[in-house]
Amino acid sequence: RVAITAGTASPSAQEHILMKLFRAQRNFYITGISLFLLIVLRTMLMRVSKVARLEANYEAMQKQAASAGSMNKTLLDENSALKKMTEGKEDLLEEVKKMEELKDQVKAAEKKASQSKADADAMRKQSENLTMEYDRLLTEHQKLQDLITPGDKKEKSTDCDSALIPLL
């Protein structure tokens, strides 16, 4: 902070000092904007990678649910085959116990399949929400970029030149 008085400094020295002050302020604002954009880009990168991971998990859960459904069908087929086999046999009681065990396995597989389906739906919804947030940040970033266009910089620099003189 240099105090410029009309009696002690020549006009060219005053202009030189004002020019240095303007450049320092301009560099300060450019640095601040660069740091802000760095933070925004890092955030966007983290969100995009998280979306990719969520999509991979969603596909894995879909495959798991499909395999649980096919296992359920296989167990039901085995159960019906066992029923046909045990119709004329004396050790019917033992076969009934096996069928009950198979029914329990089928119920467990159905429960696992429904759980997998619910998890997949939750991940899909989370992925959609993350995509919506990403789109919102992208539009906000575009609005900020629109504020910093070359035409605006000229107007702001002339405003800053006139605004700096009274401050000193």
161 alpha-carbon distance from chain centroid? 42
Residue pLDDT, tens place only, 117-154 = 999 999 999 999 999 999 999 999 999 999 987 655 54
Task: Note the pTM of the prediction, 2 decimals.
Answer: 0.35
What Rg do the C-alpha atoms of the chain give, in angstroms? 36
Give the separation between CA 7 and CA 9, rounded to whole angstroms.
6
User: Tell me, what's the pLDDT at 96?
Assistant: 78
Residue pLDDT, tens place only, 3-36 = 445 446 688 999 999 999 999 999 999 999 999 9
Residue 28 class from Cβ within 10 Å (0-12 exposed, 13-18 middle, 19+ buried)? exposed
